Structure 1
Amino acid sequence: MDRSVYIAMTGATQTMRAQAEVAHNLANANTTGFKAELSAFQAMPVQGDGLQSRINGVAQGIGWDTTQGHQMETGNDLDVSVQGNGWIAVQTPDGVEGYTRAGNLRVDADGLLTDARGNAVMGGGGPITIPQASSLKIGSDGTISIVPLGQSPNTLTAVDRIKLVNPGNDQLTYGDDGLMHMRDGSTAEADANTRVVSGALEASNVNPSDVLVKMISLSREYEMQVRSIKSADENAQSASKLLQVG
């Protein structure tokens, strides 16, 4: 069979892989704190017998867009937006610590402070539990203060401090759970310099217009690869008929 079929097949497969990542970004254009994943086609040598000059274009992830999304004012005391670099530490149900920029926090029926996905928000000594209170405030350093039930508004009590980390983006990697994790599997140390703004959320940094343009471009590339496969098949059939005539 014509080797061009395999070249076109590889190109179509990798284009579909890149398209899936673009679609994932577009689906999260309205997800709080989402960072767009980045990918690019890279030249990879074909392993096996043959000349070392054989190269395939492979779609590979190259990280994510670190640009901060625009800040949305909500007025909700439990909403926080991380300023500059930094992340909110949360604990998944299986006990693994991850990091997120999604600051739309909640207090569940048991008083546990969680993110919108139900992951427990980490504090100085573990997951944060909020006692019953008439009001709650989150300071710029992540300190959570409440007015206990039955107390005057001037009676503020510090409950805990949200664990904010800033290990460096090069030390983090996207996890299948939608959270960032340390590349080496360790736990990031709290960073006293990371700040948040209460009553606001960080929007996704995905630009829908740019993503749609890229999606259309990849669709056209895929169609071109499929046409190449059909052309190679038609050429093979024509050659076969000529040999039969001979």
Structure 2
Amino acid sequence: MFRGFYTASTGMIAQQRRTEMLSNNIANANTPGFKAEQSTIRSFPDLLMSRIEQKGNPSLQNGFAPGGAQTIGSVNNGVYMQETLPNFAQGSIVESGNVTDIALTEGNVPIDEETGKPGTIFFKLQSKDGGEAYTRNGNFTVDGEGYLVTPQGNYVLDQQNNKIALPSENFTISKEGNITVEGRAAGKLGVAFSAQPDTLVKRDNGLFYTIDNEPLQDAYANNQVSFTLEQGFTESSNVDSSQTMTAMMEAYRVFEANQKVLQAYDRSMDKAVNEIGRV
């Protein structure tokens, strides 16, 4: 019976964490470039229970004489939320009219042979520790020193990993990523390619990092990758609000069902202790 308490409680914990993940998706439904997270719920390995049979009586000299094991059956240990993975499907491209807003539009990206999933492209940023970070949120701005930055203050990098200086608002970014400031070429907007985006680490503000802090491949150098950049546009979130709300209701119902099972076990234990125990 105590095992039933643990099984029901693991189901409640898994659904609670799933609800938190879905709530975060809903909260970022209007965040440009946000990638909705998906959960993977797995069951703990089953245990095979057996009963050890005994022949004869125990003695101080020889102890118990085992007579073999009789299989009782398997016991389930509940479930857990194994991991959350972002959905890297591209969101809708929406016109903003802001010259510092840039949207990445994927054309062709190769499919990884190991995972069977397509790769993904990102804007290259400078992280706070000086390394590289990556994002699909092209809602950029110009800071007080004239550099192109994210709203959180991360510098946007060019193809040569240099900060992009924009001394005036008279600049353009072509579909191929070429930056022109007051009629003069000023480099190329940095775009990185990840063949296995599921291996990236997602942190706050929609930023992604590599596990080993090694930089991703330059997307321009991969002939199998094609994309365009749209100035004055942003990529919207790929969160499906209606589907997410339905999933949240489902998680709540499953949580409630596990809660009722837990209450039923509690009532049974109450009777076993306070009523049967008296007899």
CA shift for structure 1 position 94 = 1.8
Question: 8 Å contact 2:131–2:213 — kept in the other structure?
Answer: no
1:167 correspondence with 2:194: yes
Runs of 4+ in 1 over 6 A off after TM superposition: 49-52
Q: Which residue of 2 aligns with 1:42?
A: 42
1:74 lines up with 2:80 in the alignment: no
Which of 179-188 and 137-146 deviates more?
179-188
Q: CA RMSD in A?
A: 2.2
Task: Provide the secondary structure at the position in 1 that maps to 2:257.
Answer: helix
The corresponding residue for 1:187 is 215
After the TM superposition, which residues 11-30 of structure 1 pair with which residues of structure 2 at under 5 Å, given as runs?
Answer: 11-30=11-30
How far is 1:213 from its partner?
0.5
CA distance in 1, matches of 2:169, 2:272: 83
Query: How far is 1:53 from its partner?
Result: 5.2
- d(CA) in 1 for partners of 2:75, 2:267: 27
Gapped regions of structure 2 (runs ≥ 5)? 51-72, 107-119, 221-225
> 2:129 aligned with 1:101, yes or no?
no
- Distance (whole Å) between structure 1 residues aligned to residue 174 and residue 246 of structure 2: 41
- Post-superposition offset of 1:114: 0.6
Deviations 1:31-88 (A, max 9, x none): 00011111121123279x9987544311122522122111101222211110114110
In 2, Cα distance between equivalents of 1:134 and 1:9: 57
1:208 matched residue in structure 2: 241
CA contact (8 A) 1:166 1:194 kept: no
Q: Aligned equivalents of 1:41 and 1:129: distance in 2?
A: 43
2:152 corresponds to 1:125: no
Contact 1:37 1:61 in 2 (8 A): no
Report the secondary structure of 1:45's partner residue.
coil
Query: Partners in 2 of 1:171 and 1:244 — Cα distance?
Result: 54
Report the Cα distance in structure 1 between the residues aligned to 2:127 and 2:46, rounded to whole angstroms. Answer: 40
* Higher mean C-alpha displacement, 198-207 vs 224-233: 224-233
Q: Distance in 1 between matches of 2:15 and 2:235?
A: 31
Structure 1 or 2, whichever has the larger Rg, is 2
Contact 2:7 2:78 in 1 (8 A): yes
Quick one: which amino acid aligns to residue 158 of structure 2? G
Q: 2:64 is matched with which residue? A: none
Q: Is the 8 A contact 2:35 2:86 kept in 1?
A: yes
- Over 3 Å counting, the alpha-carbon distance change for 1:134 and 1:20 in structure 2 is closer
Determine the structure 1 residue equivalent to 2:253: 220
Indicate conservation of the 8 Å contact 1:71/1:201, yes or no.
yes
Match of 2:127 among 86, 92, 95: 92
Distance in 2 separating the partners of 1:128 and 1:139: 18
The DSSP-based 3-state class of the residue aligned with 1:166 is strand
Letter in 1 for 2:210: M
Instruction: Identify which of 66, 79, 85 aligns with 1:57.
Output: 79
CA distance in 2, matches of 1:122, 1:196: 15
Q: Do the aligned residues in 1 keep the contact of 2:7 with 2:79 (CA within 8 Å)? A: no
Asked whether the equivalents of residues 176 and 229 of structure 2 are also in contact (C-alpha less than 8 Å), the reply is yes
Report deviation, 1:27. Answer: 0.8
Indicate conservation of the 8 Å contact 1:98/1:179, yes or no.
yes
Give, in angstroms, the shift of residue 190 of structure 1. 1.5
Q: Distance in 1 between matches of 2:141 and 2:131?
A: 19
Q: Which residue of 1 aligns with 2:147?
A: 112
1:134, CA displacement in angstroms?
A: 5.2
Q: Which letter maps to 1:243?
A: I
| Preserved contact between residue 45 and residue 52 of structure 1 (Cα < 8 Å) | no
Alignment match, 2:61: none
Partner residue in 1 for 2:269: 236
Gap regions ≥5 residues in structure 1: 148-155
